[in-house]
Amino acid sequence: MPSLVSAVSSSTTKTEMQTRLLAIRQQIADAANRAGRQPGDVRLIAVSKTRSLAEVQQACACGHTVFAENQLQDAMTKIPACSWPQAEWHFIGHLQSNKVKAIVGNFQWLHSLDSFKLANRLDTVMQNANIVMPLNCLLQVNISGEQRKSGLRIHEVDEVLATLVKANYSALCMRGFMAIGVQNDVRGSRAVFAQLRELRDRCREQFDLPEFDQLSMGMSDDFEIAIEEGATMVRIGTRLFGERSSHK
């Protein structure tokens, strides 16, 4: 693998990337403090979808190593070239059952589990590949009920989660929920995030899942609200990498 210095050719300088990272981390800390939480309890996930390998490597050169992708084909142009041990990859897009093999060995987290069928396929492929570490899974919940969004409707969550728990997968670990806020609606997003936290807390107790403690919610425009309402992971792209160029 080429060195980071020679591989990086992004329009964003290292100084600019460092400045953005510091600013975002400070905003995360401020939001956590307002909510009486520890800043270290919130993880920053850099959403690198549609971004170049050079931009990802630039972030790595600045010390950030946790990334999220939503297209497998795009992700596989980056993951093999960013294989240093501390790198961690999260898949946040809709996953089709016939694409599951690409997840195995490349991603440590899946944020978009939305069916028992998909979970079965993942567990089988993981076991056949003899992957030692279980895949951390978040159930995607369309908690606002918007037609254009993927994920389980809130009334479906209990039945699906009960089935997943009963299956007792050896290669999957159920860790919590993921949701998307309401676009251009701060009040609506806050309500959605609070509802998801309450759902997570109830399900964790009801299904006796000590590790079911994660909430992936909040993006560039609403991550501070999400943190105030309990997010443990925030997914930030534009705020970190800048606006996408028209040619990308």
pLDDT at 223 over 90: yes
Question: Residue type at 16?
Answer: E
> Average pLDDT for residues 189-193, to the nearest whole number?
96
Paired tokens of 125: 């492929």
Cβ atoms within 10 Å of 189's Cβ, excluding its own: 24
Q: pLDDT tens-digit profile of 146-161?
A: 778 889 999 999 999 9
The pLDDT, as a whole number, for residue 1 is: 33
Residue 149 pLDDT: 84
> What distance in Å separates the CA atoms of residue 115 and residue 175, rounded to the nearest whole number?
15
Residue/partner pairs of 122-131 with CB below 8 Å, 24 or more apart = 122/171, 122/172, 123/167, 123/169, 123/170, 123/171, 123/172, 125/100, 125/101, 126/171, 126/172, 127/170, 127/171, 129/104, 129/105, 131/104, 131/105, 131/171
Q: Decide if pLDDT at 201 tops 90.
A: yes
Q: What confidence score (pLDDT) does residue 86 get? A: 81
CA distance 42 to 243: 24
Q: Is the pLDDT of residue 78 over 50?
A: yes
Which residues fall within 8 angstroms of residue 222, CB to CB, at 6 or more apart?
181, 186, 189
Domain boundaries, the chain: 4-241
Q: Please determine, for residue 85, whether its predicted confidence score (pLDDT) is greater than 80.
A: no
Q: Does residue 31 carry a pLDDT above 60?
A: yes
Which one has a higher pLDDT value, 247 or 136?
Answer: 136
Distance CA(66)–CA(87), nearest Å, equals 6
Nearest to 42 by CA among 19, 26, 23: 26
| CA 30/CA 36 separation, integer angstroms | 10
Mean pLDDT along residues 84-97: 90
The whole-angstrom separation of Cα 25 and Cα 134 is: 29
CA distances from 6 to 1, 58, 78, 117, 219 (A): 10, 11, 16, 44, 31
pLDDT above 70 coverage of the chain, percent: 93
What is the H or E stretch that residue 230 is in? none
User: Which of these, 194, 248, 244, lies nearest to 218 by C-alpha position?
Assistant: 194
Q: 3 falls in which pLDDT band (50, 70, 90)?
A: very low
Which CATH superfamily is 4-241 part of? Alanine racemase (3.20.20.10)
